[in-house]
């Protein structure tokens, strides 16, 4: 795939891809245990990932030399007849790929429900390209009817006994050369899997372009929610103005605003979904100590290890009254503080907006400010943390 | 695909995807004519794209209601027996998708060469997912052996007479419901297409995640080449130091450096490949007029309509000798100039690097400067143009 690291260990926003997949699975409360098949050489790295990103309910099994041998080892960790099995045997088991991080609870529930009824079930997608069969001399033998075929994707779900029996009876040839679990259930357990249409986000991260796509999808996901923190003494003023412009600039984004004093101990309490972007308007940007207090609250809410958190300290002032460079000089502490919090995965920036008396110019500056905020939120570039920006 | 615009007209770096595909094709000198099948409602938009991005050798044909009818209309524009045909009949015709912008000359040459020998040829790729055949009740009927099947991709090439005859004889049913041109050549012209293994970059931009991937691939492509413009009077000094640090920061990137006086009339003359990133070190950053002269040269070389050009004006100075804010004040003209050149697709930024007397601190600042430059070059964020950044 043009990169040397196994793709599940490739870094996306400074976190290995497999950690996103584990996060997606452990978010689902009814999944009891997650068994990860890992090669011996990556075992230590995998343990570090689990510890660093706080993954729960994970057990490790040793990967085999082929895909099917790895899955079989994973199943053995759940089977009562295995001497070193420590996990309870489940009624249903889900089989998933480490390189499909965008799996949602809904499709998991649908394949599990179908597996309970049919014994086996798997997500499918329409074919993007026509599938053809080559002849021995590398020419077209025939092409398949796209309407009559589907791509078999993940997740798949099985009654545990159905798939475990299939693997126990599976020939060495199939363990070496087969790829499709649904086919094993059909061949060895005579179970016809139910096919469930899944979303396009289930695609398998395979090539370099897929890693790029995954990174953009993750960035988009965590940028959907923005929290604008305003100063209570300024109700109806600049923070609210900026919020309106932001809503226009970043359409479809959910913007909550709160007064700093109301956030109490846990900054996440008033937010419905976890939030990784905080725009503080004329609130804490005036003082180092208040900012440090705010950042400590953020740290206590424990968001930053999973995703980089963007914090923009916005300061609106009339550049004709206070010289810009003088104000910048007063805010130089942001540069030092940004260096410090970057180690905790917080990306801190200052933004000065020229609060012009001219209404039209003010609107223009607010728009520019909003588009700078949008870029900081969407791109989450750690190289630009600590900069003082001007609109 | 989660976006309303037909995907070939979706914007990537403020240019429609189809324009990248046309650019890839017209770069190939031996391609004589490019016929684009466009629906009547998009005809005017397509003409605007051709004019705005200076595409050459393009003719438009009206798209039909199905893929095959569109291709047939495109072929008619090249057929002698058609009354309104204005283009010469070619020996070989290539059929390609507007949503596969990363097609290279090499694969085009390989399918054309194979088509000359076999009458027809097409690019293929290994299957990423297993292909299955569902039964009428939505369950697995059987799964196909992945090793014995391939995905049929684009480009495909044909002797013109072979594919034109196939379309002339093609049944209405096939024109409505078929998708595979290689299959038509086999069925109606008894021509067995040669299959040619293509690179993964040929993938079809189909879903939102593919658009994200395409954008990142394009950004990566145009960031491979960076030109560091140095001041001749400073040979062996800061420009060269920065160049070395940049090489480490952006590994695999081709960095050319030149003295401003040597660039002569056309700034592209000394560059082997087109370059869209210019880092000017202690050269023009001191004066508005010199910068304007440099930017005019860039404009004359006509690069900017196709891609946003990044220009970073780097100024190294000892912050203990000259106060940072005073220097920033002197450089405020960059903000105004950036606004002006942004309309010409040039993204201008200033970067001040603290040229500390402490060797270790200096190296650290240069590294930070290089990582800021890397972010500006890779992300090409127009929202951040005009900012003065500090390392
Ligand atoms: Mg499979
Ligand atoms: Mg086809």
pLDDT digit string (tens) for A73-123?
999 999 988 887 789 999 999 999 999 999 999 999 999 999 999 999 999
**Between B184 and A331, residue with greater pLDDT:** B184
- pLDDT for A296: 85
With a cut of 0.85, is the ipTM above it? yes
Q: Residue A4: what pLDDT? A: 66
pLDDT tens digit string along B68-101? 999 999 999 999 888 777 899 999 999 999 999 9
Query: What ranges do the domains of chain B cover?
Result: 7-217, 226-390
Q: Which of B65-69, B308-312, B315-319 has the lowest mean pLDDT?
A: B315-319
Minimal CA–CA distance to A87: which of A69, A60, A108? A60
The pLDDT score that the predictor gives to residue B164 is 97
CA distances in angstroms from B259 to B232, B244, B270, B370, listed in the order given: 5, 16, 11, 19
Please state the rounded mean pLDDT for residues B307-329.
87
B13 touches chain A (CB under 8 A): no
Interface test with B, best of A102, A140, A347 (most B CBs within 10 A): A140
pLDDT bracket for residue B269 (50, 70, 90)? low
CATH fold, domain A7-217, is: Spore Coat Polysaccharide Biosynthesis Protein SpsA; Chain A (3.90.550)
Chain A partners within 8 Å of B151 (Cβ) = 128-132
Q: For residue B145, what pLDDT is reported? A: 93
The fold adopted by the segment(s) B226-390 is Rossmann fold (3.40.50)
Distance (Å) from CA A151 to ligand 1 centroid: 9
Strands B120-126 and B150-159: antiparallel
The position carrying tokens 């160049």 is B243
Which residues have CB under 8 Å from B107's CB, separation 6+?
B123, B155, B196, B198, B199, B202
DSSP state for residue A188 in the 8-state scheme: H
- CA closest to A387 among chain B residues: B389
Q: What is the pLDDT of residues B332-342, one digit of tens each?
A: 899 999 999 99
Element (H, E) at B257: strand B254-259
Q: Residue A85: its pLDDT value, please?
A: 77
CB-nearest partner of A203 from B209, B215, B389? B209
Question: In sequence order, what are the beta bridge partners of B195?
Answer: B122
Please tell me whether the peptide bond between A236 and the residue prior to it is cis, using omega within 30 degrees of 0. Answer: no
Mean pLDDT of B322-327: 81
Tell whether the model's pLDDT for residue B389 goes beyond 90: yes
What are the CA-CA distances from residue A313 to residues A230, A334, B223 (Å)? Answer: 11, 9, 31
- Which of A300-304, A346-350, B110-114, B134-138 is least confident? A300-304
Q: Are B283 and B297 in contact (CB under 8 A)?
A: no
Cα–Cα distance measured from residue A365 to residue B335, given in angstroms and rounded to the nearest whole number: 13
Query: Per residue in A184-199, pLDDT tens?
Result: 999 999 999 999 999 9
Among chain B residues, CA nearest to A207: B200
Distance B129 CA to ligand 1 centre (A): 7
CA–centroid distance, residue B144 to ligand 1 (Å): 11
- pLDDT of A2 reads 41
The shortest C-alpha distance from A140 to chain B (Å) reads 5
Over range A283-310, report the average pLDDT.
77
Q: Is A130 on the interface with B (CB under 8 A)?
A: yes
d(CA A173, CA B211): 40
Instruction: Provide the mean pLDDT of chain A.
Output: 89
Contact assessment for residue B352 and residue B299, using Cβ atoms and an 8 Å cutoff: no
> If you compute the radius of gyration of chain A from its CA atoms, what whole number of angstroms results?
26
Q: Are A17 and A9 in contact (CB under 8 A)?
A: yes
CB contact residues (below 8 A), chain B span 231-290, against chain A: none
Whether residues A383 and B389 touch (CB distance < 8 A) is answered with no
- Coil/strand/helix, residue A288: helix
- Band of the pLDDT at B2, cuts 50, 70, 90? very low
In this predicted model, what pLDDT tens digit does every residue of B339-375 receive, in sequence order? 999 999 999 999 999 988 899 999 999 999 999 999 9
Which chain B residue lies closest to A214 (C-alpha atoms)?
A: B209
pLDDT surpassing 60 at residue A367: yes
Residues B205-255: tens digit of each pLDDT: 999 999 999 999 999 999 988 888 876 655 557 777 888 888 888 765 677
Average pLDDT taken over every residue of chain B? 89
Give the residue from B203, B222, B223, B199 showing the smallest Cα distance to B211. Answer: B203
Q: What is the pLDDT of residue A86?
A: 82
Contact (CB, 8 A) for B271 and B226? no
B282: left (phi over 0), alpha (psi -120 to 50) or beta: left
Residue A242 clears pLDDT 90, i.e. is over it:
no
Residue A390 has pLDDT above 80, yes or no: yes
Chain B residues within 8 A of A152 when measuring between CB atoms? 129-132, 143
DSSP A118: H
Given a contact cutoff of 8 angstroms between Cβ atoms, the answer to whether B159 and B192 are in contact is no
Domain A223-390, architecture per CATH:
3-Layer(aba) Sandwich (3.40)
* pLDDT of residue A236 exceeding 70: no
Shortest Cα distance from A215 to chain B (angstroms)?
Answer: 9
Q: A147-179: per-residue pLDDT in tens?
A: 999 999 999 999 999 999 999 999 999 999 988
Before B164, cis peptide (omega within 30)?
no
| Fold agreement between B7-217 and B226-390 | no
Structure confidence at residue B272 (pLDDT): 56
Neighbours of ion ligand 2 (CB under 5 A): A 130; B 180
Task: Output the CA torsion A51→A56→A59→A65 (10° steps).
Answer: -70
3-state class of A151 per DSSP? Answer: strand
């Amino acid at each position: 795939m043009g990169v040397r690291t196994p793709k599940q260990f490739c870094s996306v926003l400074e976190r290995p891809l497999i950690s996103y997949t584990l996060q997606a699975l452990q978010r689902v409360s009814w999944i009891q245990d997650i068994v990860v098949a890992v090669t011996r050489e990556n075992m230590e790295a995998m343990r570090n990932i689990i510890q660093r990103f706080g993954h729960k309910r994970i057990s490790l099994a040793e990967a085999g030399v082929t895909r099917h041998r790895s899955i079989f080892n994973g199943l053995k960790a759940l089977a009562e007849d295995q001497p070193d099995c420590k996990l309870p045997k489940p009624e249903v088991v889900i089989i998933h790929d480490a390189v499909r991080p965008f799996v949602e609870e809904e499709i998991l529930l649908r394949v599990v429900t179908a597996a309970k009824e049919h014994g086996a079930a798997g997500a499918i997608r329409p074919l993007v390209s026509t599938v053809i069969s080559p002849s021995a001399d590398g020419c077209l033998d025939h092409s398949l009817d796209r309407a009559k075929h589907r791509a078999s994707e993940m997740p798949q779900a099985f009654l545990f006994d159905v798939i475990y029996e299939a693997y126990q009876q599976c020939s060495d040839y199939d363990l070496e050369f087969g790829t499709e679990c649904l086919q094993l259930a059909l061949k060895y357990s005579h179970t016809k899997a139910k096919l469930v249409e899944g979303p396009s986000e289930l695609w398998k991260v395979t090539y370099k372009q897929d890693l790029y796509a995954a990174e953009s999808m993750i960035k988009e996901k965590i940028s959907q929610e923005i929290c604008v923190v305003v100063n209570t003494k300024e109700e109806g003023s600049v923070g609210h103005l900026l919020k309106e412009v932001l809503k226009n600039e970043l359409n479809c984004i959910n913007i909550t605003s709160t007064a700093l004093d109301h956030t109490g101990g846990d900054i996440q309490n008033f937010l419905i979904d976890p939030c990784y972007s905080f725009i503080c308007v004329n609130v804490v940007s005036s003082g180092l100590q208040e900012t440090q207090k705010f950042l400590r609250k953020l740290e206590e809410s424990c968001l930053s290890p999973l995703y980089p958190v963007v914090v923009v300290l916005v300061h609106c002032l009339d550049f004709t009254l206070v010289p810009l460079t003088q104000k910048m000089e007063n805010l130089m502490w942001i540069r030092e503080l940004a260096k410090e919090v970057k180690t905790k995965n917080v990306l801190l920036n200052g933004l000065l907006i020229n609060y012009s008396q001219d209404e039209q110019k003010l609107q223009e500056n607010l728009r520019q400010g909003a588009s700078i905020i949008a870029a900081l939120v969407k791109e989450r570039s750690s190289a630009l943390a600590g900069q003082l920006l001007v609109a």
